[in-house]
Amino acid sequence: MKRDTKMEKLLFVTGNKTYSPWSMSPWLALRHAGAVFEEVVVPLFVPGYKQKLLEYSAAGKVPALRAGNQAIWDSLAICEYLAERFPKAELWPQDIAARAEARSVSAEVHSGFTVIRNSYPFNCRATGRHVPRTAELDGEIERVTAMWDSCRSRHGKGGPWLFGRFTIADCMCIPLALRFPTYGVALAGSAADYLSTAQQHPAVREWLAAAKREKEVIEADEAGRDP
Ligand SMILES: N[C@@H](CCC(=O)N[C@@H](CS)C(=O)NCC(=O)O)C(=O)O
C-alpha cells in the first residue's frame, strides 16, 4: 500500500545555529517550502550531546529530519527529500540543464571547499575575525565566487538567487557565503550582491537572530579572535 507521507509530522534536529552550517541548509529549504515542522536544537560538544543525537539518527550528527518514524540524515539528502515532498516549492530548477547544474553546485559545496571550511569555521554570530590568507584559501574563494558569478550570469535572470528563483543550490551556498563577513573577506561584483541578497533574506535573518540569542560557545569554532 502506498504510504501518504504528507500525513507524517516533521521533526527537524539542528545543532547550535551559531555553529552548524549543515543544519542551516535544510532548515532554509524547510522554510522555503512553508513546511510545518517541530524543531529540536541539540547544543553540540557538551556532555551527552552524542547520545541525544543518536536518539534521532544513527549517524549521530546534525542535521537530521524525522518524518514520522523515518529518519533522514545529511543536509543534502534532507533537501532532496523536501524537494520531493513539497514539489510546489520547486526546490530544484524546472529546466533540466539548470537543474543538473544546480545539483552540481550543491554537490560541490557539500563535498568540497574543505580549506574554506577548516580555515573559516562557521560562526555566524561573529564578525571582525582575522585568519591569515593562504594560496589554498584564495584558490577556493576564487572558485566559489566564480561559480556564483557563472550561475547568476547564465541562470539568474528570473530573480536574485543563483538560478533566479530560490533553490537547494542557495540552501547549500548561503552558509558558505556567510563565513565571509565573519572573517572580513571582501567580495566583489555578483558574489557581493549574492551575499547581500542572502543576508537580507527573511529566513536567513531569522536564523541569524536565533544564533545571536544562543549562549553556548564552542571554542574550536572561535577562530581568528583578537587576543
Ligand atoms: N555531511 C554532513 C555533515 C554533518 C556534520 O558534520 N554535522 C556536524 C555539525 S555541522 C555535527 O553533527 N557535528 C557533531 C559531531 O560530529 O559529533 C551533512 O551534510 O549533513
Q: What is the pLDDT of residues 72-125, one digit of tens each?
A: 999 999 999 999 999 999 999 999 999 999 999 999 999 999 999 999 999 999
Q: Is 133 part of any domain?
A: yes
Judged against a pLDDT cut of 50, whether residue 41 lies above it is answered with: yes
Mutate which of 61, 65, 171 to test ligand 1's pocket (most atoms within 8 Å of Cβ)? 61
Domain membership of residue 42 as a residue range? 5-89
The Cα angle at residue 192 between residues 194 and 83, in degrees rounded to 5: 20
With a 6 Å cutoff on the Cβ, whether 44 touches ligand 1 is yes
Ligand 1 atom 18 nearest Cα: 74
Same-domain pairing of 79 and 152: no
- Nearest atom in ligand 1 to the alpha carbon of residue 73 is 20
In this structure, what CATH number is given to the domain that contains residue 51? 3.40.30.10
Same-domain pairing of 19 and 125: no
Same-domain pairing of 39 and 69: yes
Same-domain pairing of 82 and 104: no
Same-domain pairing of 14 and 76: yes
- The pLDDT mean for the chain works out to 96
Nearest 10 degrees: Cα torsion 73, 87, 107, 183: -80
pLDDT tens across 58-74, in order?
Answer: 999 999 999 999 999 99
Q: How far apart are the first and last CA of the chain?
A: 62
Confidence of residue 6 (pLDDT cuts 50, 70, 90): low
Same-domain pairing of 64 and 155: no
Same-domain pairing of 20 and 47: yes
Quote the cell numbers at residue 84: 520531493
Number of domains within the chain: 2
pLDDT over 90, % of the chain = 96
Confidence of residue 213 (pLDDT cuts 50, 70, 90): very high
* Alpha-carbon span 106 to 202, nearest angstrom: 21
Same-domain pairing of 127 and 62: no
Mutate which of 24, 51, 54, 62 to test ligand 1's pocket (most atoms within 8 Å of Cβ)? 62
Which residues sit opposite 143 in a β-bridge? none
DSSP 8-state assignment for residue 87: G
* Alpha-carbon span 221 to 6, nearest angstrom: 37
Same-domain pairing of 102 and 209: yes
- Nearest atom in ligand 1 to the alpha carbon of residue 44 is 14
Q: Is 77 part of any domain?
A: yes
With a 6 Å cutoff on the Cβ, whether 79 touches ligand 1 is no
With a 6 Å cutoff on the Cβ, whether 15 touches ligand 1 is yes
Confidence of residue 4 (pLDDT cuts 50, 70, 90): very low
Same-domain pairing of 112 and 204: yes
Ligand 1 atom 16 nearest Cα: 61
Judged against a pLDDT cut of 60, whether residue 144 lies above it is answered with: yes
Same-domain pairing of 138 and 75: no
pLDDT for the residue numbered 168:
99
Q: Is 171 part of any domain?
A: yes
Q: Is 61 part of any domain?
A: yes
* Alpha-carbon span 108 to 146, nearest angstrom: 13
Judged against a pLDDT cut of 60, whether residue 165 lies above it is answered with: yes
117 CA to centre of ligand 1 in angstroms: 12
